[in-house]
Structure 1
């Protein structure tokens, strides 16, 4: 059971008082959400549909909720500032459905920063305060959006390297595996973040993310994994029986891929002597049936360890040169680097491999905290601001322009996102509405668009991959 189920309590305290603060005669409040900049120059829009389905679709306000909220806020503020009248009106007039309209870019759309991503407005002039009451909830789209953006940026780094060092991008969807479940703040965070990563890749151990893809985005199975060892399943055999622990992995999972963490004691000895000599025949024989061993280092400086492991395995099992002139291990043995991987380190490892003439085909990556947790709302500087209001029947373009921070200047008026000359651009003050790529996704309690993960993935795909797909690769 969720800690909070009452939609009236899913907001910041100060918003409970805002119905008393708008100018008298206000009938319309219109606000928007954007990424004002940040680490990456563009964002992948994703996750609003989950928030809408989870919280806002259907009749979500009841008499009991109103009473609970009234009692809670009276205790919280020490005075009666709760808008009981307004919420009771919503219950009676709209049957507990929230009278707002949301327009948004289609999920999976890649949008340059400093552009509108969705807008929110009240549909009933009696409750203009309702628009920004849900800012707190709706802004939480920053998290799935930022995870998807971070994941896609890493995909781009990998794809660019593979274009230079590999014969094909066939392995690209499996090149970054999600190990982030244990490193996030909650199961819900794991679900949201894990699903966001799956826009770009299909490798994941974060089961909650795949469950979210199934429940909220119409994807029966969004991610895949393989049998893999952890340190406890190796070290419980004892240091003197590491070979037997490794052999057990090969015997217990005789077909397909199997990953074995190999740094419990000495990763280099494990690769040179146990894998490269004592169990070599088992590994080669496994390859005859199309199987493969994935060796996992899990400590040390990633670029140095990866190169040294590759060199040891290359000496033991041999290599071939691909059409680009880069070394490739036999198909039956690969490595996965899952320790210390983030956007920057991933690029460093791949560059080091390239410098030593190793193809990216030899490796896959795993990422945990850096993929799902080492992010915040300021990573992409996400913000929700009012840009338009109607007061006493008169339209007002609304904005802020802090003299102390020009970067926080907000947009004015009714907004639209228009594609012209191949580039997305925000039009302000009611211009470009007829060419707006944002579409209605929610109105008065009804979900108007129900995107599935397949179409979202297609929108988020890298141009280099789309080009190869068009060429039949």
Structure 2
């Protein structure tokens, strides 16, 4: 239904082939985050788009379908231009895409992607692709950036309160977002973007995407976990039996299991059922039971649950002076968690005298859905055109909003004394251009593995 690349655009794009100056030969455009919620971006996701959409040729059947649809829709259609792509280029798009290495942490305001047509007769194609290309970049990059920002908050808390923060960090934020996003593809791209930063997630399609587009054999991991229906199915009087069943089914030495424990009374469940009635079974199982509160005010509930678990199961004080629960119990907070609230929760945990290693977090809609193109103010703009053999700068400079001023000329991105900067390509001297060709005329030029992307994101 949605495999026709010609129709992966906005309606008004279909008429733009008639709107450029006579003699236009090349249109060069770029994608950037102009600022927004965070000062940096973690660039990610372009390779997935290229593999899914640009390595398959456009066909005459695609042209026929698009022509009929646009005619009925009321906009022009450049059949001749698309036929030329099929006849002269085998259906593969005559464009070159340059991009920064995926996984790179980049200050906002820098070009992440640059695209131009390689066939002068296809000058109209660069901007025609804006809708699909910009969406392919802004969404996974924004989710990856949000996840990375949370990672920095958790890292700081771990470094302040934990003896071995590096070992704890990879599993501290778990993706709960599959059911909260707008589509299956969004779940795949967003969940995969999160896994650049962390190793835990329940979004199964993200694992498939990381395998298909980045060659990851297994990008993330999860554990057996209860939901409210599997607890409340036993009835309120059978709550203890429901928890005991979880232990019986999954409580093996060295394993983890998560049990939602607030279907009725989280404090009774922690102090009486887990802490007294089932304490011996928990301790003798050799497993770690991860208690999950799922209601209330997180920054109040989590410290209270930690206090009650410490009172019943004990623990130790680490070298930094913070309490660590017995290895048989931990806590995961997945309700009311977003990029803002997680900092508050971490602060309250530390103020209560507990190490951050006691707690993991799950994030759903706040991770994969509570973002939009304006979160990081993403835009794709034309910056240069070749007309009758001469290059000219193309830019917008609205007097009403300096934040929407666009860049001029063909662009390059350099690292100058450790600082990433976007400059004009014709201003390059000895510096290396970090914008590297990744696609040209139907050919994928760079094929990064998922581990390579992860390594770049950690090189900060």
> Which interval holds the TM-score relative to the shorter structure?
over 0.9
1:34 corresponds, among 8, 32, 56, to 32
Q: How does 1:64-75 map to 2 (within 5 A)?
A: 64-75=61-72
1:130 and 2:142 matched: no
Q: Which residue of 2 aligns with 1:13?
A: 11
Q: Per the alignment, in what secondary structure is the counterpart of residue 126 of structure 2?
A: helix
Displacement of 1:462 in angstroms is 5.9
How far, CA to CA, are the matches of 1:397 and 1:243 in structure 2? Answer: 71
Q: Per the alignment, in what secondary structure is the counterpart of residue 346 of structure 1?
A: helix
1:372 corresponds, among 368, 379, 390, to 368
Q: Which residue of 2 aligns with 1:260?
A: 259
Structure 2 spans left out of the alignment, 5+ residues: none
2:170 corresponds, among 170, 173, 179, to 173
How far, CA to CA, are the matches of 1:95 and 1:264 in structure 2? Answer: 59
How far, CA to CA, are the matches of 1:385 and 1:143 in structure 2? Answer: 17
Q: Which residue of 1 aligns with 2:198?
A: 201
Q: Per the alignment, in what secondary structure is the counterpart of residue 275 of structure 1?
A: helix
Q: Which residue of 2 aligns with 1:22?
A: 20
Q: How does 1:409-428 map to 2 (within 5 A)?
A: 409-428=405-424
CA contact (8 A) 1:11 1:135 kept: yes
CA contact (8 A) 1:302 1:339 kept: yes
Q: Which residue of 1 aligns with 2:93?
A: 98
How far, CA to CA, are the matches of 2:129 and 2:10 in structure 1? Answer: 9
Q: Which residue of 2 aligns with 1:353?
A: 349
Q: Which residue of 2 aligns with 1:469?
A: none
- Under a length normalisation based on structure 1, what TM-score does the superposition of the two structures give? 0.95
Q: Which residue of 2 aligns with 1:296?
A: 292
Displacement of 1:296 in angstroms is 0.5
Displacement of 1:304 in angstroms is 0.5
How far, CA to CA, are the matches of 1:61 and 1:208 in structure 2? Answer: 27
How far, CA to CA, are the matches of 2:311 and 2:437 in structure 1? Answer: 59
CA contact (8 A) 1:271 1:309 kept: yes
Q: Which residue of 1 aligns with 2:83?
A: 88
1:216 corresponds, among 194, 213, 217, to 213
Displacement of 1:429 in angstroms is 5.7
2:447 corresponds, among 446, 450, 455, to 450
Q: Which residue of 1 aligns with 2:435?
A: 438
Displacement of 1:338 in angstroms is 0.5
Q: How does 1:296-335 map to 2 (within 5 A)?
A: 296-335=292-331
1:152 and 2:148 matched: yes
Structure 1 spans left out of the alignment, 5+ residues: 464-473
CA contact (8 A) 1:415 1:431 kept: no
How far, CA to CA, are the matches of 2:354 and 2:268 in structure 1? Answer: 21
Q: Which residue of 2 aligns with 1:280?
A: 279
1:182-218 Cα deviation digits (max 9, x unpaired): 0001111100000000000000000011110011110
How far, CA to CA, are the matches of 1:203 and 1:102 in structure 2? Answer: 32
Displacement of 1:254 in angstroms is 2.3
Q: Which residue of 1 aligns with 2:270?
A: 271
How far, CA to CA, are the matches of 1:428 and 1:37 in structure 2? Answer: 20
How far, CA to CA, are the matches of 1:88 and 1:317 in structure 2? Answer: 72
How far, CA to CA, are the matches of 1:328 and 1:416 in structure 2? Answer: 49
CA contact (8 A) 1:31 1:120 kept: yes
2:391 corresponds, among 368, 379, 395, to 395
Q: Which residue of 2 aligns with 1:161?
A: 157
1:237 and 2:234 matched: yes
- Under a length normalisation based on structure 2, what TM-score does the superposition of the two structures give? 0.98
Q: Which residue of 2 aligns with 1:54?
A: 52
1:22-73 Cα deviation digits (max 9, x unpaired): 0000001000000000101000000001111111114x21111111111111
Q: Per the alignment, in what secondary structure is the counterpart of residue 426 of structure 1?
A: strand
CA contact (8 A) 1:147 1:197 kept: yes
Displacement of 1:4 in angstroms is 1.3
CA contact (8 A) 1:401 1:408 kept: yes
Q: Per the alignment, in what secondary structure is the counterpart of residue 219 of structure 1?
A: coil
